[in-house]
Each structure stands twice: as structure tokens, then as C-alpha cells.
Amino acid sequence: MKRLKITQRLFILFLMMPFFAVAPSFSQETIEESTEEAYKLEDVVVRGDLSQKNLDASSSEVLTSEQITNRVYENPVEILGLVPGVSINQYKQGGTASSLQMRGFTRVSHGSDAAFYIDGIPLNEGDGYADTNTVNPEELERVEVIKGPVSPLYGNYASAGVIHFHTKNKVDQQHIKLLYGAYDTYEGSYVGGFTSENGKTDHVYSFMTYHTDGYQDNSDWNKFNGAARITHHLTDDLNIRLSLRGFNSDWDAPGWLNEEEYENTPEKCVNDANGGSKDYKSGKIDVDYMITSDSKILFQMWSYDQNFVRYYAGRDEGVAVGTNIGNVRDFDRLVYGANISYNFLGNVLGRKMSFTAGADYMMEDIYRNRWRLTAGNGRNKGDKYIDYHIDFESIGLYTDLNYQVVDPLKIIIGGRYDHFSGDLTDHLLDDQESSMEDTDIFSPKGGLMLTLLDDRLEIFGNYSRGFAMMSGFAEQAQYTQDDWDPQIRTQYEIGVRVRPVDWFIGQLVGFRMDTTDDFIQNPVTDEYENAGETTREGIELAFDFYAFDFGYLHCDYSYIDATYDSYSSGGISYDGNDLPRVPDNIVNIELGYNPIKGLGGWVRYHYQSGAMLDEANTIKGESWDKVDANVFYRFGNLQRYTIALEIQNVFDEKYPATQSYWSGATSYSPGLPLSAYLSFTVDF
């Protein structure tokens, strides 16, 4: 019945949208150039730049620098809260990556469901964990958010979607931001650079330092981010770029609260042994060569090295000294890879066409160690119970074609082939070696887009298939278990975009994601079986209104129905139940005024409904909403200054930043109460 209601809602809204599109235009100005007309091949410098054009027939979003900056983020993953249909599970455990929900998958950045990149370098680790804290929001040019396995440029981890952070390659001014606010939070950021006198070399540098005491006890967090990008124009057709990045983070963490603590003492720390550290260093070389005026070759070679340590301890009150209450994780990872692609943007047989074909390679060298943490012994390590080394290799081939078959109709066809192999050495079992069976996967993609009414109405649809490997604690089974197949995710998407007048844009999207061969652990054998099937489907509706010269109103609503179709664990069937931690309804409304000079600001409202927290659907989380607001004043001419005050949780509502259920109890991470942050920015 719930699925029928979704279909009815989508059908009715879909029929209504074209009527909006034929409304009379109240402006004589020409609509802005389409993405297709504005795109220039010489601007394509990172894998995915040209293919973004081929994502017109999908619900993919691009967040610009203007949308991202002038906001306060606890960590960069919160940027994605600006995207319709996305909800953030803010763990608030210091430098530990928080997760998010997208397309009904709730462990995005904490599992194998979505791919994260920064300038073409993957952030996902072997088990799917992706730490966005290496990103400085002030240096971003844009963030691409691809929903579902639509793009053939991305393979592993990309079944629920892709989040790609693109930083600035050239700047024409210096940017400094200073911030101070609640819980002794302070941040200093610089993004700037210069072009050499002969115009041959562009320099971009960015630095960020950050500290907070945190709302809860034992929540101190310090991090530093630094990056450099130097582009040299060897000739008019040949460019080479060197990119370097470093990141360091040290933190304490409060742990997870039970319901009584959440309600009565939300500032409490469960165990002051919680915390961790991370060190990250990366380097990348890009070469791009214009073969002709409409074709280009891109080559990228990169590597990064990181160490991640996390102390994860449960409560030790009333627990006998020496009892196991957690673990210490010490992970080392050295990764290197390369990518080469051919890109074409021009006319074939008198019709516009874009085409990308390429190959990528990645090699991971991973060491994973875990020790027990015991009650009464703080961060002192107990017995070691995990010590293994992984070599994991992946090769991908991809192609993507966008062709204007007739004037109103584009056809988009793509595909990707992935090959995986790897070995695991278990040092606790006398260096016993295990090898995963070589895995080959082909993922087809396709879409159509119909453009009508002088580009004021776009109707699109797409089909795409992706996959997911094992993640988390199942990662080891990927090598030691003989019989398993990747999980298969298939998405169907249909949508319409309208711009009846220059001051209004609307989009309606309906999607369905079917998964098969989901991993379910057999409680008798402890092996993971390809035995589960699930369905995720929903609607995403967004409107943008523009008033005066700088005013705007954004509204988006998402409805998600995520259910088990075939899923049994421990002899219990969960068929027909809701998947845990997926909110049915998500609403965002933002009203703002963003002038070049003078007084401006915005107010943002967010609501999400409570989700089932357990597989049996016996425990439901709470619905919550909050309001954030920002007021700023801009002044200056050649040097532009901005003073901004941001208030988070204006009405001081109690809400769970995340809530979950395990071991028979509900756990919480509390959201921030009313909190204020003052910032000063100068651009010169």
C-alpha cells in the first residue's frame, strides 16, 4: 500500500509539472546559457568534468562555492545537507567521520555505499570509510553530488552515489576567514595565490586551523589542513599541475549516550578514553593536452599515505576492572593510482556530441591492527585480536556518450568494467595468506533527455546498475571466504525540470533502487551469504524562487520508502519491514538575501521524520526539526569585508544528531543547543 501511494504521488505531480512550464514569462531577458552551450573543453581538467554534462539526464546536484561558503560546519560532510534527499548522521565523535543517508542508504561514508573524491583522488578506504575532514570548505570551487550509480566514471563504492569535492585551480584574490564561537571554537583559514608575471604559472595555496572544546565533555578537537596546487602552462595546449595536501587531526570523544543521559545530562562523556588521531599526506600530478579544438587527453597520477588511530570505549561504570569494553584501532594505508581519459566535445554528423573514454588503476597497501580496551585501564592497550595486511588492486575501463539525436532529444549511453583482486596476510595466524577470487563486474548506464519550450522544460529518465563489495567487519571475509558475489544495485530514475519564468526553477524526481545479493551473515557458519533483497524508492521535489536582485527562497521535500523484500537473519524473517534509520520525510526551506554589499542573511529550516531503528521495526526514533540563521554585513570596494553572525538551533530545540539501536538499547549523540558563531572575512 505504501508503494502504491508513492506511485500515485509521483504520477500526479509529474502530470502537473508541464502545466507550470507553460506559464507566461514576466521577464524579457533571455534564459541563461544552457550548461551545454557554456561548457568549454579547455576547462575540463579533472576526471568527471566533461561527464558532468552527461548527468543532465539525472538528479545530480552541483553546489557552488557561493552556496557553500559563509556557513559554519562542524565538519565538511554537513555541506551535503544542502542537497535534497540527504540527511546527516552527525556522530559528534571528534575526527571520526560522520555518515549520511542518501537514496535510502544510511552508512554513506561509513560503508561501501557511496564514493568520495577530492580532485580525482578517492577518499574511501578499503572498507568504504571516507573522512571528509581532509577538505577545507573555503577552498572549494564546487561539490558534485551524483545520486545512484549513474556515472560510469566511478565504480567501487559508487552504487548509492558519488560526492566529488573540486578545489580551486586559480584565484584572482586572497581570502582570509577568522571565526570564533560557542564551546571555545575558533577557526582560521586562508585561500589565495597568484599568477606569475609571464602568465605561465598559477599558484593556489590554502591553510586552515581549527579547534573546539565541543558541547559535550571530553570533546576537544584540533585539526590542521594545508594544500598547494601549482599549474604550469607549458604551451597553449599542454598544462601540468602539481597538487599537495596535508592533514593532521587529534581529538577526544564523548562516546554514545543512553536515553536517560540524552534526556537529562546530554553534555555527559561516557568514557574519557575515547578519541583518536589522523595524519594524511597526498600528492598528485595532472597533465592535460588539447589534441584539437574539440578533443583532449587527461592524465592523472596520485598517491597518499595515512595513519588513523581510534580509541573506542564503552561505559565502564559498575564494570569490573579488566573487562573488555572496547578497542584501539591503528590503521596504516598507502595508496597510489592513475587515470587516463580521452574527452571529445563537438559536432558529429551535424549534431552535438560529448564523449569520454578512459581507464583507471588503483593499488592499496593496508595494515589493520586492533587491541582490546579494558575497564579501568584508560587508553592502555590490552590483547591484540586483529593484525592483518591487505594488498588490493583494481582496474576500471569506462565510456560515456552524450548525443543530440534530434533537436529536442539527447541519448546518453555509458558503461563500466571493473576488475578486482587482492591478498590478505593474517599475522595472528602465522602469516596465513588468503586471496580473494578475481572479480569482474560490468555496469551498464543509459538515459534520455527531452528539452522543450525553448529550454524551459526538460523531461529525463535513466537506468543504471552498480555494485558494492564487502565492508566493515565483512572486509576480511572478502579474502578468506571462498564463495561470494558483489551486491548488485539497479536504479531507475525519471524526472522533470521546469523554468517557466526567469525567477523560478522547479525539479521533480522519482527513483527506485533495487538491490540483490545483499550480504547476510549466517549465524551458524559466520559466513556472509548473498541472500538479501531490498527496495528503496521515493520522490524528491525542489523549487527555487529568485526575487529582487539578491533575494531567494529554496524549498525541497523528499519522501523515501526503504523496505526489506527478502531478508532473514537468525531464523527471523524481516520481509516487508522498513530498513533501519531511513527517515520517510525530509524538508528543507531556506529564505535569504545575498547582496554584493550591505546587509544580508538567511534563515534555514530542517525537518526529518523519525525512522525505525531496528530490523524488527519495534523501536522508532524521534522526528525533529530545527532552525538556523545567519546575518552578515559586507562592505569595501577593492578589499571586500564581511562580518557574519550565525545562530544554530535558534529555538534551542533538543534533537538527536544521530540515534541508533544495538545490543538491546537506543544510543544517542545529542545535537547542539542554541549556539552562536561570529566570523570576519576579507577578500583582497
Q: Among 29-38, 201-210, 267-276, 626-635, whose mean pLDDT is lowest?
A: 29-38
**Beta pairing partners, 421:** 393
Whether the Cβ atoms of residue 192 and residue 170 lie closer than 8 Å to each other: no
Return the percentage of the chain with pLDDT > 90, whole number. 81
Task: Fill in the amino acid letter for 273.
Answer: A
pLDDT in tens, 573-587: 999 999 999 999 999
How sure is the predictor about 31, in pLDDT bands with cuts at 50, 70 and 90? very low
Which of 392, 391, 446, 362 has its CA nearest to residue 122?
Answer: 362
**SS3 (DSSP) at 550:** coil
Residue 34 in this model has a pLDDT that exceeds 50: no
- The rounded distance, in Å, linking the Cα atoms of 56 and 455 is 13
Distance CA 327, CA 316 (A): 13
Q: Which pLDDT band holds residue 516 (cuts at 50, 70, 90)?
A: very high
Q: Which three cell numbers stand for residue 171?
A: 584565484
Cell of 168: 580551486
Instruction: Count structural domains, the chain.
Output: 1
Please report the pLDDT score of residue 21 as a whole number: 37
Banded pLDDT at 312 (limits 50, 70, 90): very high
pLDDT tens-digit series, residues 136-147: 999 999 999 999
Q: What is the distance of C-alpha 652 from the center of its chain?
A: 28
Question: What are the angstrom distances between the C-alpha of 463 and each of 66, 414, 469, 490, 528?
Answer: 32, 10, 21, 8, 28
Look at residue 40 in the predicted model and tell me its pLDDT: 62
φ, ψ (nearest 5 deg) of residue 132: -85, 0
The DSSP output letter for 270 is S
Task: Find the mean pLDDT for residues 663-683.
Answer: 95
- Which of the residue ranges 155-159, 399-403, 662-666 would you say has the lowest mean pLDDT? 662-666
- Half-sphere exposure at residue 118, Cβ-oriented, CA atoms within 13 angstroms: 27
CA angle 493, 396, 142 (to 5 degrees): 60
Residue closest to 98 by CA, chosen among 85, 82, 111: 111
> Per-residue pLDDT for 116 more than 60?
yes
- Comparing 125-134, 254-263, 535-544, 583-592, which segment has the lowest mean pLDDT? 125-134
Distance CA 366, CA 125 (A): 9
Query: Would you mind telling me the total number of residues written for the chain in this entry?
Result: 684
Tell me which DSSP letter residue 52 carries.
Answer: G
> pTM for the whole thing?
0.92
Closest alpha carbon to 358 in 382, 345, 339 = 339
Residue 547: what pLDDT? 85
Residue 356 has pLDDT above 60, yes or no: yes
Average pLDDT of the residues in 433-452: 95
- Residue 308, C-alpha cell as written in the block: 588513523
Alpha carbon distance, N-terminus to C-terminus of the chain? 59
Segment 347-354 mean pLDDT: 93
Looking at residue 6, its pLDDT comes to 45
476 compared with 356, residue with greater pLDDT: 356
At residue 234, what are phi and psi to the nearest 5 degrees? -65, -45
The edge-to-edge listing of strands for the beta sheet with 105-108 is 87-89, 99-102, 105-108
| Residue 348 lies in domain | 2-683
Question: What CATH number has the domain bearing residue 439?
Answer: 2.40.170.20
Q: Which of 92, 81, 78 is nearest to 669 (CA)?
A: 92
As a whole number of angstroms, the distance between CA 116 and CA 244 comes to: 18
The sheet that has 61-64: what strands, in order across it? 61-64, 140-147, 161-167, 114-118, 121-122
DSSP 650: T
Q: What is the mean predicted confidence (pLDDT) over 58-71?
A: 92
What single string gives the DSSP state of each residue in 189-213? EEEEEEE-TTS-EEEEEEEEEEEE-
- Per-residue DSSP letters for 338-397? EEEEEEEEEEETTEEEEEEEEEEEEEEEEEEEEEEEETTSTT----EEEEEEEEEEEEEE
| Residue 466, strand partner residues | 489
Q: What is the mean pLDDT of residues 495-517?
A: 96
Residue 107 pLDDT: 85
Average pLDDT over residues 13-39: 37
Q: Give the span between the Cα atoms of 569 and 129, in whole angstroms.
A: 25
The SS3 call for residue 38 is helix
Residue 208 has pLDDT above 60, yes or no: yes
* Among 164, 187, 157, 646, residue whose Cα is nearest residue 362: 157
Helix%, strand%, coil% for the chain, nearest 5: 10, 60, 30
Q: How many CA atoms lie within 13 A of 99 on its CB side?
A: 21
How large is the average pLDDT for residues 396-403? 95
- pLDDT top residue among 13 and 567: 567
Taking alpha carbons only, the member of 103, 153, 116 closest to residue 509 is: 103
Answer yes or no: is pLDDT of 32 > 60.
no
Element (H, E) at 13: helix 2-21
DSSP class per residue in 450-488: EEETTTTEEEEEEEEEEEE---GGGGTHHHH-SS---EE
From the list 359, 366, 328, the residue with the least C-alpha distance to 478 is 366
What does the pLDDT read at residue 475?
82
Contact 94, 219 (CB under 8 A): yes
37 pLDDT band, cuts 50/70/90, is very low
Q: Are 637 and 606 in contact (CB under 8 A)?
A: no
CA separation, residue 134 to residues 97, 189, 232, 484 (Å):
10, 14, 25, 34
pLDDT at 98: 86
Q: What is the pLDDT of residue 615?
A: 93
d(CA 194, CA 181): 32
